[in-house]
Structure 1
Amino acid sequence: MDEVRSNNNVVYRCHYHVVWCPKYRRKVIDGKVDERLKEIIREVCAERNAPIEAIETMPDHVQLLVVVDPQYGIHRLVKQIKGRSSRLLRQEFPHLKSRMPTLWTNSYFVATTGGATLEVVKRYVENQRNV
């Protein structure tokens, strides 16, 4: 799924690896919570036309590989996923309210992924004048 995508203004291929954790790194993502969380993430990504390339959870973190329109932005997508999943999971699974003031930490890790290494892209940019 390394296709080039576009909207009205931008042609892009933006793949992001995102990782986030429950508050206090509590091990609460398992069983039915895990299943429902993945459902919610898939719903949000489908609504935002952000194809999921991979998704996996561990009891204390979520890893997501997703393609996001740069005009929408990875921050807005993560914020929407975390917000909706926190609200719905805490409604559906009351034990998530008693142990933590919020479901997720405020922070997350994000990195872009791509076919070319940083060194190759840097060399390409630096050599543009010589072409």
Structure 2
Amino acid sequence: MSYRRLHYHLVWATYRRRPTITRDVERSIHRTLRNKARELKVFVYAIGNVEDHIHLAISILSTIAVAECIRHLKGASSYIVNREHAGIDFAWQTGYGAFTSGDRDKPMVVTYVRNQKRHHGAGTTLSDLERTPDDENEEREE
């Protein structure tokens, strides 16, 4: 049996960076991400967001690829938002940012993810941890 401890900081944006993550939508997204992660045997340390993008600090087992895990998380959350919040026409952009960290950096990443609203409000974001694919050329992912 193999042993692996990999921590990821994931970030992805709403379609065309539309500010569609309201407080109600946020609750649906967070709940769905935690439920889907449990189903995938992914451990969620923290979820944070602002109106147009979301961050997760997670650990993924070796039984699922990072891209596959993200596909499931994005798909489940957009499905639930559109089902529970009629009229929003919610979607994520294709692509994502994925960053690895070790045990030593994990507390900093978890704190950063949890405090997204504060960081964005105060202008204290870390550009290296905010990177997503080019917003202008993105397609819709549901």
Contact 2:43 2:60 in 1 (8 A): yes
Superposed CA offset, 1:64-86 (max 9, x none) = 00000123121111100111111
Of 52, 58, 65, 2:44 maps to 52
Larger radius of gyration: 1
Does residue 107 of structure 1 match 2:95? yes
Identity %: 25
Unaligned segments of structure 1, at least 5 residues: 1-8, 118-131
Amino acid at match of 1:103: A
State the TM-score, normalized to the length of structure 2.
0.69
Q: Is the 8 A contact 2:28 2:80 kept in 1?
A: no
Q: C-alpha displacement at 1:116, in angstroms?
A: 6.7
CA contact (8 A) 1:96 1:103 kept: no
For the pair 1:30 / 2:22, whether they are aligned, the reply is yes
RMSD over aligned Cα atoms:
1.6
Aligned length: 105
TM-score normalised according to structure 1 size: 0.75
Structure 2 contact 14–20 (Cα < 8 Å) conserved? yes
SS in 2 for 1:11: coil
Amino acid at match of 1:106: T
